[in-house]
Structure 1
Amino acid sequence: MNSFQWPNGARGAVSLSFDDGLKTHVENAVPTLNDYGLRGTFYIPMAPGGAFDQRIHHWRAAASQGHEIGNHSMTHPCSANFGFSRRALDYLTLEDITGEILDARRRITEEIPDQKAHSFAYPCGETKVGSGKNHISYVPVVAEHYVVGRGIGDFANDPVLCDLACTWSFMPTDPPAERLIGWADMARNMGRWSIFCFHGVGGEHFHLRMEALRMLLDHLAAHRDEIWTDTVINVGTWIRDHRERVCA
């Protein structure tokens, strides 16, 4: 276990994030989190007429309840191999992806003005644009504009060493509750930060069963004194500020 100091005597941290601004987020995820007094992070593509605009009043309500509305770009660009991306990363430049990020950031700031800060999540967990000799990371772009960039990975984040511009998150599909609880306990037992990346909740793609979500939330609520559960931006900001204090 590292010597990092989490707030209020906690032994580790957990963040619950939900991608793509889905219908099941406003119908299932937000109300269930509210029932437990826990806050989540919702990463939403911000293209006009898309996932944000279709449920704009729900997202504003979620933000007013303490949930984070995060940046998932404008058009959710992913690899051309997927076949569904409106603007494939393979054909974008750093200038293009910077525009995607900043345009989405501007919309979030304008539409949810009371939200003080938010984080970014890499669409499809992919962190590069271009191809061949022009295949280049856009993590530095995210680092320039955001405290936290949430990626995809296979382990809990070490708060002392992790790259805040490209943190890791667990992205399960229909996971058993025991696996979710194990990842939460990894944070507690190792002094780390476990981030969850969910999509559909009780339905839709890459779905998470409601029973599994409730069992995870039961566990987090029962261990509030040991596991700090908060939004990605709040935990990431704590880590950044702690590092700055240590280095001062």
Structure 2
Amino acid sequence: MSNLHCLASLALLALTASTASFAQTAGPWNGKQCAVVLTYDDALAVDLNHVVPALDSLKLRGTFYLIGSSPVVAARLPEWRRAALRGHELGNHALMHPCDGSLPGRNFVTPDNDLSKYTISRAVNEVRATNTLLTAIDGKTARTFAYPCGDRQIGGVYFYEQLKNDFVGARGVTAGLQPLAQVDLANINSYMINGQSGDYLINLVKQAQRSRTLLVFLFHGVGGGHGLNVELAAHRQLLRYLQAHEQDIWVAPMVEVAEKMKASKEGSGGSK
């Protein structure tokens, strides 16, 4: 082999190794140990009163899953728009937050908002109408969905199948830390928080760092505002830990993390 061929072969090997090294370093979590997504459901007043200011003060961004019919959306549109301008995601939590009233413990579900009485087309149309509303607020078309009450089926049919092209991904309510290969973009795991301490929240993050996985927090009330609640001090403790370890933890809205995962999966031939 000539010297020229040897040099070319060595250059090709070096480029291949460099590319592999970059891919490993970049990874699915933006080159960091793990990804943490902060999600807040139901378009509550405390989101604007407590959460957005807390996130902004530490330059963190989250995802707020808005119910299209929420009076807090209607009454405070300019504030939601400003939150979106600062990089927070306004996610879709359906128009009426329908839940399956046929399941045990669902006495709170009204006949008008009983998902088990919906047709597939009604569920899909209401979700799409909410997307139209959200685009009118933030001007964006890429976003994610969160299943109200975690309910995914109507009469045994997964209604999100008709919505996959409308969203980058959908967040569910099953707890668990997952590496990229195990993430189902149609039902992303999350930890529903209700009364846990700041130490508990931070320990989940540390587990995600060690296992190099995705961690999604699901909050409702923060300092009140909902029956499912986390104390302001615990929430603040979590945010401060995330900010202090930003070199190791990728904290981003769900839409950005889902877009990264989708691209990684497609690049590796994954289908989920």
TM-score surpassing 0.5? yes
Aligned residue in 2 for 1:118: 143
Letter in 1 for 2:257: V
SS of the residue aligned with 1:247? coil
CA distance in 2, matches of 1:71, 1:181: 27
Please list the CA deviations of residues 51-85 of structure 1 after superposition, one character each: whole Å capped at 9, or x if unmatched.
31121111001001110001011000012223344
Q: Residues 164-219 of structure 1, C-alpha deviation per residue, up to 9 Å, x if partnerless?
A: 01101100211111111122122211111100110011111111111001110111
Task: Please state if 1:216 is matched with 2:238.
Answer: yes
Question: Aligned partners of 1:234, 1:62: CA distance in 2, in Å?
Answer: 16
User: In 2, are the aligned partners of 1:20 and 1:44 still within 8 Å (CA)?
Assistant: yes
Counterpart of 1:128 in structure 2 is 153
- Whether 1:24 and 2:50 are equivalent positions in the alignment is no
Deviations 1:83-119 (CA, angstroms, capped at 9, x unpaired): 3444211101211111111111111112221x35211
TM-superposed CA distance for 1:142, in Å, is: 3.5
Aligned counterpart, 1:66: 87
Larger Rg: 2
The 10-residue stretch of structure 1 (237-246 or 163-172) with the greater mean CA deviation from structure 2:
237-246
Contact 2:198 2:234 in 1 (8 A): yes
The alignment's C-alpha RMSD in Å is: 1.7
CA distance in 2, matches of 1:221, 1:84: 38
Counterpart-to-counterpart distance in 1, 2:107 and 2:38 = 25
TM-score normalized by structure 1?
0.91
1:102 to 115, 128, 132: 128
* Residue 161 (structure 1) aligned with residue 182 (structure 2): yes
In the alignment, the residues of structure 1 paired with residue 163 and residue 189 of structure 2 have an alpha-carbon distance, to the nearest angstrom, of 15
* Separation in 2, partners of 1:33, 1:161: 29
Instruction: Please list every run of at least 4 consecutive aligned residues from structure 1 whose deviation after the TM superposition is greater than 6 angstroms.
Output: none
Distance 1:191 1:98 in 2: 35
Contact 1:146 1:165 in 2 (8 A): no
- Cα contact 1:120–1:142 (8 A) shared by 2: no
The alignment status of 1:185 with 2:211, answered yes or no, reads: no
Task: Report the equivalent of 1:200.
Answer: 221
Q: How far apart in 1 are the matches of 2:184 and 2:156?
A: 20
> 2:136 is matched by which residue type in structure 1?
E
Fraction of identical pairs, as percent: 30
Q: Are residues 1:229 and 2:251 paired?
A: yes
1:72–1:123 contact (8 Å) kept in structure 2: yes
Letter of the 1:9 counterpart? G
8 Å contact 1:157–1:167 — kept in the other structure?
A: no
Between stretches 226-235 and 136-145, larger displacement belongs to 136-145
Q: Hey, what does 1:238 align to over in structure 2?
A: 260
Cα distance change, pair 203–102 in 1 and its aligned pair in 2 (3 A): same
Partner SS, residue 42 of structure 1 = strand
Secondary structure of the 2:126 match is helix
What amino acid is the match of 2:116? D
Unaligned runs of 5+ in 2: 1-23
Q: State the aligned residue count.
A: 240
